[in-house]
Structures are given as C-alpha cells and as structure tokens.
Amino acid sequence: MPPRRSLGIRWDRLGRWALLGVFALVLYLYIGPALTWISTYKEASRQREAVAELRAENERLEQRKAELKEPGAIEREARRLGMVKAGERAYIVEGLK
C-alpha cells in the first residue's frame, strides 16, 4: 500500500508566500513615492534653470533701462529706428555695401 499523502496545510510554503507578499507590498508602497520624488527633483532642476535664465534677462533689461535714462539716449534710439523730428527730412542712402 502506497504511503498516504497528508492533505494538511504546508506551513513552510504558506510562510514563504506570505513573506513574499509582504515584501511585494512594501516594495509597491515605496515605488510610488520614490518615482514622485524623482520627477519632482527633475522638475525643480528645470525650474532652477529657467529662473537663472530669467534673472540674467532681468539683469540685461535693467542695464538697458539704465542706458535709456541717460540724456539723449531716447533720441538716439528713435533715430536708430528711423524716426525723425518734426520738420526734418528723412534721407535713405542705398548701395553702400
């Protein structure tokens, strides 16, 4: 007569599966926040670069503002844009190059 197999619970296997399930759950709970932290870190880096660019542009514009406050600067800028005072004649010179 062949040996009879026990139909009882194999506690060693059940324990391994339970441990594996707990490990998977803990891993799942850590992955979400970790991915969020990584994407937030990358976005913050991009924003720091954008702020640095905007600060450089702001500094350039502040210098330009200071230049335009000098006497005669507005008139020089207007003439550079092709404007003339009332009563003046505008001449266009072509073919100098």
What pLDDT, on the 0 to 100 scale, is given for residue 82? 84
Distance CA 51, CA 63 (A): 18
Structural domain including 18 reads: 11-41
Span 2-16, mean pLDDT?
75
Residues 52 and 33 in one domain: no
Tell me the one-letter amino acid at 84: V
Domains held by the chain: number: 2
55-87 pLDDT tens trace: 999 999 999 999 989 989 988 988 888 888 889
Residue pLDDT, tens place only, 33-51: 999 999 999 999 999 999 9
Q: Which two tokens stand for residue 36?
A: 């969020």
CA angle 73, 74, 77 (to 5 degrees): 85
User: Of the candidates 9, 72, 5, 12, which has an alpha carbon nearest to the alpha carbon of residue 80?
Assistant: 72
52 and 76 inside one domain: yes
76 and 51 fall within a common domain: yes
User: Do residues 37 and 53 share a domain?
Assistant: no
29 occurs within a structural domain:
yes
- Let me know whether 53 and 72 are in one domain: yes
Together in a domain, 15 and 37: yes
Model pLDDT, residue 89: 87
Domain contains 34:
yes
The pLDDT of 14-43, averaged and rounded, is 93
Residue 63 lies in a domain: yes
Domain contains 16: yes
